[in-house]
Amino acid sequence: MDFFADAAGTVVESGGAAEAGGASGEGGDFLSRAVKRFFGLDYLFPYQRLVVSNILEAFDALKPGPVSETTERSPPAETPDRAVLGRQIVILPTGAGKSLCFHLPAMLLEGATLVLYPILSLMADQERRLRSRGFNPALLRGGQSEDERAGIFRRVQSGESRFIIANPEVLLTQKMMNVLPELNIVHVVIDEAHCVSEWGERFRPAYLRVSEIVDALRGAPGADGFSLPLVTAFTATASAPVLEKIERAVFGSSSFPVNRIVGNPDRSNIEYAARGALLRDVAVRDLLFKNRLPAIVFCSSRERTEKLARYLRRWFGEKTRFYHAGLSREERGDTEKWFFENDEIVLAATCAFGLGIDRGDIRTVIHRDCPPSAEAYLQESGRAGRDGLASKAILLWGEDDRFALVRAGSEENRRRVEKLLAYARNVSTCRRQALLDMMDYRPPGPLPESPEEGCCDVCSGTASAYYREERSLADFFRRNKRCYTPAEAARVLAEAKEAAWQEEDAKLALSSLVKMGKLTIRNRFPWKGTIES
């Protein structure tokens, strides 16, 4: 059965079974007409069409009573097969249009859609995007007054707001759990669902309780054991173990099957690279000089984003800002506005900014620090090139990676970090292939192999197993064996016109190479205190 919303927003039958094909416009099938009407788009991608169709068919099977005064339910015998479509995990690459997969059904279903997001910046971004399209989403967040909440509940119950935007924490209070069943929520969406595994066990335990929110919304199950709401979990990246954790946390211990719709996680327009660096801030600066802007640089902590932004302002001035979850609501809003409205900019950010931020023309994404997993790396590097044009993702590696292992905590999380560190230091395996292997994905056809196709630094022959500073400093001391102490060498390097060394940077790099045993300080006369390679 097809569904469509009339001018008043009521779901009515569109006239028989869904038509096959993907033509657009008024002469096309039902979904094409719907996406054109509500979003001004001419077509749906095949995966989008499949996900949306599953949601609508499951709703048809589960909705009690007639869809309208003139239509009847499908025969009960069809119910179990169709209802099971309402439990889905959808894995689609960044930029593939996941949001439309639940935005469109929200306009067609008779009831509200609850969308759970992990971070405030993503909630604000989704609210902004929906309002720009003329919709009226309801945003539930901490710090709202009782009057604000009451107004939100009235808008949802009246049908004025079809979208409820929230995070798990704000819903997992006794007061909210009591109110939720009164809001006629027919579809629960968990966006960026890999956060269940990525964050739930470390610092967001509410993500391990999403199934409690779903259970609080359920009515009495029918004879087949199914009931509303429908549940769909979306993510851009997830390996098999992560998918299993998502199923447990989102769908609970139910024995009913969960559909997995898996798209190709590869972003063919992104060129991947990794660079070893003794001085990561300097490496970031140099990479930003060499690569196109706008750019995002991901850091491991709030303090690091602020320090890096202050450092980069020496060269990029007001084109540089930082973003993390510790900013006030006004500061976050101001930075998000700046980010969307300015070109040739650099944003230093924690993962609080990475998820789902929809700016299409980010040309370069640099990871100053190692993220916690391949899933996180693909998710964050996927901020680049959402418009489909050539972009670059660069991961820095070095001695400070030991801190990433400390941050990982559990042995399982340490293994995930170790895999990504091995990826960064490997200069013999195609990086694209290595990332897909970590996702347990086997592409249907060959991957790009030539540098012209922008695959990775390994395929182009530019990958290096050395620290970026190592060779130039080693060459310097081979030419000037036992001539300079570290302080003298740092001063000479800073004064050399052909080099881009700051004296303090040169001292730090020399100290690191000495500690690593790659340079030696002589301790015997007449060369005592001088360096040789």
pLDDT in tens, 56-94: 888 887 776 543 333 343 433 334 466 677 888 888 776
Measure Cα distances from 216 to 100, 111, 125, 127, 139 in Å. Answer: 26, 16, 27, 25, 19
Residue 363 lies in a domain: yes
pLDDT in tens, 358-413: 678 899 999 999 888 887 888 788 888 888 889 999 999 988 888 787 777 777 78
Residue of 9, 344, 339 lying closest to 163 (CA atoms): 9
Q: In the structure, what pLDDT confidence band is assigned to residue 3 with cuts at 50, 70 and 90? A: very low
- In the block, residue with structure tokens 């709202």: 144
- Residue 80 contacts residue 63 (beta carbons within 8 Å): no
Shared domain for 254 and 391, answered yes or no, is: no
Residue 27 lies in a domain: no
- Residue 447 contacts residue 276 (beta carbons within 8 Å): no
Q: In the structure, what pLDDT confidence band is assigned to residue 347 with cuts at 50, 70 and 90? A: very high
Q: CA–CA separation, 427 vs 462, rounded Å?
A: 9
Shared domain for 444 and 304, answered yes or no, is: yes
Shared domain for 400 and 361, answered yes or no, is: yes
Measure Cα distances from 424 to 90, 371, 419, 421 in Å. Answer: 28, 11, 9, 5
Which residue range forms the structural domain that includes residue 142? 76-262
Which DSSP string corresponds to 71-130?
--PPPGGGHHHHHGGGEEEEE--TTS-HHHHHHHHHHHSSSEEEEE-SSHHHHHHHHHHH
- Residue with the bigger pLDDT between 71 and 123: it is 123
Amino acid (one-letter) located at 174 = Q
> Does 209 score more than 90 pLDDT?
no
pLDDT in tens, 260-296: 887 777 788 899 999 988 888 888 998 999 999 999 9
Shared domain for 477 and 410, answered yes or no, is: no
Give the tokens for residue 59: 């709703």
What stretches of 191-285 adopt beta strand conformation (E)?
A: 230-235, 259-262, 270-276
Shared domain for 204 and 279, answered yes or no, is: no
Please tell me the total count of domains within the chain. Answer: 3
3-class secondary structure, 298: strand
Rank 152-156, 254-258, 482-486 by mean pLDDT and report only the highest: 152-156
Residue 465 lies in a domain: no
Residues 6 or more apart whose CB falls under 8 angstroms from that of 60 comprise 1, 3, 67, 73, 74, 82
Long-range contacts from 4-7, C-beta under 8 angstroms, 24+ separation: 4/30, 4/33, 4/34, 4/108, 5/107, 5/108
> Does 350 score more than 80 pLDDT?
yes
| End residue of a domain, out of 262, 290, 325 | 262
Shared domain for 199 and 279, answered yes or no, is: no
What pLDDT was estimated at residue 74? 40
The rounded Cα 23 to chain-centroid distance in angstroms is: 31
Angle separating helix axes 98-108 and 120-132, nearest 10 degrees: 60
3-class secondary structure, 149: helix
**CATH number of the domain bearing residue 194:** 3.40.50.300
- Residue 246 contacts residue 197 (beta carbons within 8 Å): yes
The rounded Cα 244 to chain-centroid distance in angstroms is: 19
Give the tokens for residue 264: 């190709």
Residue of 27, 20, 26 lying closest to 46 (CA atoms): 20
Shared domain for 282 and 369, answered yes or no, is: yes
Shared domain for 165 and 255, answered yes or no, is: yes
Shared domain for 159 and 183, answered yes or no, is: yes
Shared domain for 213 and 191, answered yes or no, is: yes
Q: CA–CA separation, 290 vs 282, rounded Å?
A: 13
* Sheet of 346-349, strands arranged across: 270-276, 391-397, 364-367, 295-298, 346-349, 320-323
- Residue with the bigger pLDDT between 110 and 220: it is 110
Q: In the structure, what pLDDT confidence band is assigned to residue 1 with cuts at 50, 70 and 90? A: very low
Amino acid (one-letter) located at 507 = K
The rounded Cα 504 to chain-centroid distance in angstroms is: 36
Q: CA–CA separation, 512 vs 505, rounded Å?
A: 11
Tally Cβ neighbours within 10 Å of residue 260.
15
Q: In the structure, what pLDDT confidence band is assigned to residue 22 with cuts at 50, 70 and 90? A: very low
Shared domain for 454 and 477, answered yes or no, is: no
